[in-house]
């Protein structure tokens, strides 16, 4: 840490005030969930226009066809990696299991201090991906999708909210926190575009309506 040389008290106070403000910024709820920033609304609208519209087909789906969780870094599997990424002051043991910390769920605005209250949501659900084209993928491709920490696809959220969402798309489910909906649909379209997944007509209509105000 650099030495603090003598200066007028006013300057010191201003510096400390700035540091405190910066700390507050980085610990605010909006900064707690570190979902990779989705593409802009304009880009998402362009991507959506290019997605194939097709009827969904659930035939043959089994969650085990999407292997989770895999090792991402060191001793951390995908869940543990996202808990560390999205949490605040997360302390883990030698096996990367979260022992303490807090997690802000951007879907509903709740904050949790126990990792057991938090699920890692697949923003585009695994069953939805299967319905939209992943049924034709190899197991390795489905594993990559289910553990993608690069795209805006995995996010720590309140467990019962994630369970209520289930495998629904934006035509039937959206985050209750309206301030997050634009982020959600931008991320949804980005993931579907990247993985060349289709949309059904109701899903495309809902995405079009939400993106119109992004």
Per-residue pLDDT of the chain (214 residues; tens, 9 = 90+): 333 323 333 333 333 333 333 333 333 333 345 899 999 999 999 999 999 999 999 999 999 999 999 999 999 999 999 999 999 999 999 999 999 999 999 999 999 999 999 999 999 999 999 999 999 999 999 999 999 999 999 999 999 999 999 999 999 999 999 999 999 999 999 999 999 999 999 999 999 999 999 9
Per-residue model confidence (pLDDT) at position 34:
81
Whole-number pLDDT of residue 209: 98
Query: Looking at residue 15, what is its pLDDT?
Result: 33
Q: Which two tokens stand for residue 148?
A: 């993608």
Please provide residue 110's backbone torsions phi and psi, each rounded to the nearest 5 degrees: -90, 150
pLDDT at 83: 98
Q: What's the pLDDT score for residue 186?
A: 98
Q: What is the pLDDT of residue 29?
A: 39
Which has the closest alpha carbon to 87: 156, 158, 187, 177?
156
- Classify 77 as helix, strand or coil: strand
Strand, helix or coil for residue 160: helix
Confidence (pTM): 0.84
Phi and psi angles of residue 96, each rounded to the nearest 5 degrees, phi first: 75, 15
Please tell me the predicted confidence (pLDDT) of residue 130: 98
Q: Looking at residue 18, what is its pLDDT? A: 36
- Tell whether omega for the bond before 50 is within 30 degrees of 0, i.e. cis: no
Paired tokens of 207: 């995405």
Interior CA angle at 113 toward 187 and 153, to 5°?
15
| Beta-strand runs (E) in the chain | 71-73, 76-77, 87-92, 98-105, 110-112, 118-122, 154-158
The per-residue pLDDT for 26 is 32
């Amino acid at each position: 840490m650099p030495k603090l040389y003598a200066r007028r008290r006013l300057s010191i106070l201003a510096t400390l005030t700035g540091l405190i403000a910066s700390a507050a910024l980085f610990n605010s709820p909006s900064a707690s969930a570190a979902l990779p920033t989705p593409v802009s609304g304009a880009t998402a609208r362009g991507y959506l226009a290019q997605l194939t519209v097709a009827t969904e087909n659930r035939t043959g789906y089994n969650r085990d066809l999407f292997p989770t969780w895999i090792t991402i870094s060191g001793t951390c599997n995908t869940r543990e990696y996202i808990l560390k990424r999205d949490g605040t002051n997360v302390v883990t043991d030698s096996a990367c299991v979260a022992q303490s910390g807090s997690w802000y769920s951007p879907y509903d605005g709740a904050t949790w201090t126990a990792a057991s209250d938090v699920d890692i949501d697949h923003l585009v659900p695994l069953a939805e991906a299967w319905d939209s084209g992943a049924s034709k993928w190899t197991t390795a491709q489905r594993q990559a999708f289910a553990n993608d920490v690069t795209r805006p696809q995995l996010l720590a959220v309140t467990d019962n909210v994630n369970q209520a969402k289930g495998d629904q798309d934006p035509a039937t489910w959206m985050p209750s926190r309206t301030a997050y909906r634009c982020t959600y649909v931008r991320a949804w379209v980005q993931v579907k575009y990247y993985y060349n997944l289709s949309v059904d007509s109701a899903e495309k209509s809902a995405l079009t309506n939400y993106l119109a105000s992004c």
